[in-house]
């Protein structure tokens, strides 16, 4: 496990995000078909068990097919996200994790699906279509959208108990560089409560590899960046690790797509 570190929370600076979210999972194919039934909520079940809620046929079949590789219930548990919390899905794209979080926080909680406008325009608006379909007809009544660049986030957009970004960090870092990524993280920190958690999931990259082309990132780069932004690295998890991935292939290569070796980090905004 990663040793705890502590750095000072820094001031939020502006950053312009021009990434086309290559999350491969929060993307457009994860959206339910228009007209899908509303998923069961915690109060609809005799047991408030997230795994039971995730198994509901009211979720899109494409989402449920991804669960084995993504282990969303375990991820939510590791990050400490619970019923009644207010959580932000950072660069939600099509909203796979938005719906997972909606079920996790239940009727007493709230989820904000955050997307920079550039992400919604990517691939002829595929992410816009997917997130719109997922939320159509008030299908997830405890979810609202927040379509803003990181530079435009203000504390009043929160505060959030927790946030998560899945398979997006590599794009931000590889396309915009470490300084812009630090600034984006500071913007996220500005909408988290003191002591709030940020979960980061991404594809493992190797030092010396062309990680930008492979859509991967070295864990060490992530740790340096989150600490520079003022977060404390609390813990990591092997939940999503896969030793059969040697980190040499493009993450959308059919032999590893959906089965890449992934790190899961839990970092925290220091309590004030």
| Position 94 in a domain | yes
Nearest to residue 260, comparing CAs of 194, 246, 211? 246
Q: What is the mean pLDDT of the chain?
A: 87
Distance of CA 185 to the CA centre of its chain: 13
| Position 8 in a domain | no
Quickly state the pLDDT bin for 19 (edges 50, 70, 90).
very low
**Number of domains within the chain:** 1
Q: What domain range includes position 91?
A: 28-33+50-268
DSSP H helices in 20-168: 50-54, 61-70, 72-79, 96-105, 117-135
Residue-wise pLDDT tens digits, 206-235: 999 999 999 999 999 999 999 999 999 999
| Position 180 in a domain | yes
Burial state string for 100-110 with b = 16 or more CB within 10 A and e = fewer than 16: bbbbbbbeebb
Give me the pLDDT at residue 8, please.
Answer: 32
Average pLDDT over residues 7-27: 36
- Of residues 94 and 48, more confidence is placed in 94
Residue-wise pLDDT tens digits, 183-200: 999 999 999 999 999 999
Residue-wise pLDDT tens digits, 141-161: 999 999 999 999 999 999 999
Report the CATH number at residue 61: 3.40.50.150
């Amino acid at each position: 496990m990663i040793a705890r570190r502590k750095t000072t929370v820094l001031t939020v600076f502006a950053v312009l995000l021009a990434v086309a979210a290559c999350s491969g999972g929060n993307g457009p194919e994860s959206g339910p078909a228009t007209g899908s039934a509303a998923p069961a909520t915690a109060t609809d079940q005799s047991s408030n068990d997230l795994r039971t809620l995730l198994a509901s046929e009211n979720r899109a079949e494409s989402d449920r097919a991804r669960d084995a590789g993504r282990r969303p219930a375990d991820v939510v548990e590791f990050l400490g996200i619970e019923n009644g919390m207010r959580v932000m899905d950072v660069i939600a794209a099509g909203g796979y994790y938005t719906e997972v979080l909606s079920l996790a926080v239940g009727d007493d909680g709230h989820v904000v699906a955050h997307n920079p406008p550039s992400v919604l325009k990517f691939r002829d608006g595929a992410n816009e279509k997917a997130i719109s379909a997922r939320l159509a007809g008030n299908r997830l009544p405890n979810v609202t959208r927040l379509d803003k660049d990181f530079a435009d986030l203000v504390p009043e957009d929160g505060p959030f108990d927790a946030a998560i970004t899945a398979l997006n960090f590599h794009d931000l870092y590889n396309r915009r560089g470490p300084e812009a990524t630090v600034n984006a993280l500071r913007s996220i920190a500005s909408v988290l409560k003191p002591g709030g958690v940020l979960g980061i999931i991404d594809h493992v990259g190797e030092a010396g590899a062309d990680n930008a082309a492979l859509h991967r990132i070295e864990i060490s780069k992530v740790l340096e960046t989150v600490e520079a932004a003022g977060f404390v690295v609390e813990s990591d998890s092997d939940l999503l690790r896969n030793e059969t991935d040697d980190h040499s292939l493009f993450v959308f290569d059919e032999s590893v797509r959906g089965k890449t070796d992934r790190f899961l980090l839990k970092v925290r905004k220091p309590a004030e």
